Amino acid sequence: MLFLEHQILDMQNVVAVRVDISEDKINDELKRAAKQMDDNKMSRNGRAIISMCGDESWLLFPLIDVPAMIPDDWKFKDRFHLESAVRTRHEGEYSRLSKSIDELYGYVIKRGLNAITGHYCVMVRDWSHGVDLKNLIIDIYIGVSNNVL
């Protein structure tokens, strides 16, 4: 597995919604989010991102424009910027994604880096009609500190 350091993940006009990303629900969550975005005339501009930190999971979507209206349970951010991240790519089944995430965290520890964020899973392929859980391509990012203490 290839690990890349000093990576940046930067997006403008980001909406986020809290979701259940378990294997049996992820496709339903993606389709529900796409429908809500279409219903609220939000034009997507990029790849869906799954943010996992602690017990919370969020779907993040960059938009072309600032939305006029967003659903009550969604959040809006002008900008999402992750700098100095470590990245790897997972290719394969959703059920094995956690193994790739663990390998990335292992790399961070082995290199003596200090993880300062949870991990962010960026879907490389179109997600708006659900995803093939047997054949995923996902870039995984973890933000790390540049501080040497």
> 128 pLDDT band (50/70/90 cuts)?
low
Segment 19-76, tens digit of pLDDT: 887 777 888 888 888 888 888 888 888 788 888 776 778 888 888 888 778 888 899 9
With beta carbons less than 8 A apart as the criterion, state whether 87 and 2 touch: no
How much is the average pLDDT of 4-25? 88
First and final C-alpha spacing in the chain:
29
- Over residues 109-115, the mean pLDDT reads 94
Q: What pLDDT is recorded for position 104?
A: 97
pLDDT at 131: 73
Closest to 1 in 3D by CA, of 135, 95, 138: 138
Structural domain boundaries of the chain?
4-145
Please tell us whether the domain made up of 4-145 is placed in CATH 3.60.20.10.
Answer: no
DSSP class of residue 42 equals P
Rounded to whole angstroms, the Cα distance separating 149 from 144 reads: 13
Using a CB cutoff of 8 Å and minimum separation of 24, what contacts does 40-45 make?
40/67, 40/69, 40/70, 40/71, 41/67, 41/68, 42/15, 42/67, 42/70, 44/128, 45/12, 45/13
Please tell me the predicted confidence (pLDDT) of residue 147.
72
* Predicted local distance difference test score (pLDDT) of residue 35: 87
